[in-house]
Amino acid sequence: MSRDLEPEARELEHMFDISTEKLKEITEHFTKELTKGLSVDGGNIPMNPTWLMNKPTGYEQGTYLTLDMGGSKARVCQVTLKQKGQVENKQREFFIPKHIKTATANELWDYLAECVEAVVDKEGMLAKCQNDGEHQDDTLRLAFTFSYPVTQDSINHGVLQRWTKGFDVKGVEGQNVVSQLEEALRRKNVPVKVSVLINDTAGTLLASAYADPDTQIGAILGTGCNSAYVETCNNIPKLQHRNLAPDSPMIINCEYGAFDNEHCVLPRTKYDKLIDKESPRPGQQTYEKMTSGLYLGEIFRHAILDLHTRNQLFVGKQVPALSQPYALDCLHLSEVDGNGSSSLQSVLQISLEKHEMDLCQKLADLINARAARLCACGLAAICKKKGLSSCVIGVDGSVMLKNDVLRGRTMKALGEILDWDAKSRQAGEKGTGDTPIRMHFVKDGSSEGAAIAAAIAAAQA
Ligand code: BGC
């Protein structure tokens, strides 16, 4: 770092560094909020029961059609479960066009129905995928991964609570997304009915548990940030009226991206506040806006723009691209963090001098480190709530899968919060897997988990 930029670097450190004590304070509050979400009155964190009441045995089999609607892509897959983590997944990926994110309900569902139609028609899935055995007709059963908060009364129903991840499609909040998708499929004469609705975190949990029965948590860090875990019904006061067996498991989709919407404990910077203000849903998803892939590049852009405006970076240069919202994404951030700059230079259309690169790298490092450390708080809160000192966390999501450093930092911070010894913390940081709590990566866990849920549901029907 060149000497004249040191004060700026110190100021940034001051904004983004989070001490072990602060992590512990955040986790303690987080744990209370998880419990509150399960209570009759509820709280900030929705803690949505998924009606997935069994983990897989590992012996589920069959071929299932799945649709996975994430923050930027839709995937239609033909998933064949063999057993014990052996899965074959033939998939086709569709990039969700930007305009769909703010379109009308019909436009969104018609688009998704067309994705399903494209695959079902062309690839002869009617012959391969299971209808559920109960209905001997030609209608295929679809397991639908919908990675947004829904209130579920059953496994194939879900009312959208609110959009997240920058989506703002009119006419879906407060509606049953399963009926809306099925209507669109009918409009297009696609012979498919939804048998299972599942969140990506619950899918990741199931996919990881299919291979490793020690899995207790499924976590996503990608465009959004969230986890699901295995609860028991006696700990869910808000379901008391359903008279469920008290010791029966229930997978809870926490939707903890909404943690600290009351702004009690998270150390928000002026950049976090700006992002929130300019987002389609201000005041919501406070934790997600500090940790997930959709926002990390935008935090980076706001911070660089601020330094530039204060004449501390790119002095005397014209950088109009910096004023473009979401011009930078988390890939630019990881590239700079890893000491590269070609894509950043091409987006900003300037060449970076050494001292400028140094400051951008420092900033990228701080933003990623903060995201990793905060991400550990949610995981630690579930472990503390459930008294889990050792278990497996199934993990999926582009940010976690593509960024080893961030992953290592998350594990190290988890060790700091849970008071692991120095050896385990180091192992966490290095990613050797020699830690009391391990991460198990399940690429495409969200789709594969949907197929597993469909298999479990079919076996119970
Ligand atoms: C959604 C969750 C989802 C997470 C990860 C959040 O924005 O609300 O349902 O699990 O993103 O995709």
Indicate whether residue 286 lines ligand 1 (CB < 6 A). no
pLDDT attached to residue 14: 95
Q: Please report the sign of the dihedral spanned by the C-alpha atoms of residue 226, residue 230, residue 231, residue 233.
A: positive
Ligand 1 mean position, distance from CA 285 (Å)? 10
pLDDT attached to residue 125: 61
Indicate whether residue 398 lines ligand 1 (CB < 6 A). no
Indicate whether residue 68 lines ligand 1 (CB < 6 A). no
Nearest-CA neighbor of 304 among 358, 352, 359, 371?
Answer: 359
pLDDT attached to residue 340: 85
Residue spans of the domains in the chain: they are: 61-199+445-454
Indicate whether residue 227 lines ligand 1 (CB < 6 A). no
pLDDT attached to residue 133: 47
Query: Please, are residues 214 and 392 in contact by the beta-carbon 8 Å criterion?
Result: yes
pLDDT attached to residue 425: 94
* Three-state DSSP string of 107-129: HHHHHHHHHHHHHHHHCCHHHHC
Ligand 1 mean position, distance from CA 226 (Å)? 5
Q: Please report the sign of the dihedral spanned by the C-alpha atoms of residue 259, residue 261, residue 267, residue 272.
A: positive
Annotated catalytic residue 200 = yes
Q: Find the catalytic residue in 75, 141, 162, 425.
A: 162
Neighbours of 57 (CB within 10 A): 14
The single-letter DSSP state of residue 338 is T
The residue whose two tokens read 């509820």 is 42
Ligand 1 mean position, distance from CA 126 (Å)? 30
- CA 179 remoteness from chain centre: 24
This prediction's pTM: 0.95
Ligand 1 mean position, distance from CA 253 (Å)? 9
CA-proximal residue: ligand 1, atom 11 (nearest): 224
Question: ∠ CA 308-297-437 to the nearest 5 degrees?
Answer: 135
Query: Please, are residues 177 and 158 in contact by the beta-carbon 8 Å criterion?
Result: yes
pLDDT attached to residue 123: 57
Q: Is 186 helix (H, G, I), strand (E, B) or coil?
A: helix
Per-residue pLDDT of the chain (461 residues; tens, 9 = 90+): 555 668 888 999 999 999 999 999 999 999 999 999 999 999 999 999 999 999 999 999 999 999 999 888 999 999 999 999 999 999 999 999 999 999 999 999 999 999 999 998 765 665 566 554 445 567 899 999 999 999 999 999 999 999 999 999 999 999 999 999 999 999 999 999 999 999 999 999 999 999 999 999 999 999 999 999 999 999 999 999 999 999 999 999 999 999 999 999 999 999 999 999 999 999 999 999 999 999 999 999 999 999 999 999 999 999 999 999 999 998 899 888 888 888 899 999 999 999 999 999 999 999 999 999 999 999 999 999 999 999 999 999 999 988 889 999 999 999 999 999 999 999 999 988 899 999 999 999 999 999 999 999 988 77
User: Ligand 1 atom closest to Cα of 165?
Assistant: 7
Q: Find the catalytic residue in 147, 227, 279, 447.
A: 147
pLDDT attached to residue 120: 87
In one-letter notation, the amino acid at residue 171 is G
CA-proximal residue: ligand 1, atom 9 (nearest): 148
Annotated catalytic residue 147 = yes
Cα–Cα separations (whole angstroms), residue 291 to 52, 218, 365: 27, 17, 13
Q: Does domain 61-199+445-454 have CATH number 3.30.420.40?
A: yes
Neighbours of 332 (CB within 10 A): 25
User: Ligand 1 atom closest to Cα of 224?
Assistant: 11
Indicate whether residue 56 lines ligand 1 (CB < 6 A). no
Neighbours of 186 (CB within 10 A): 13
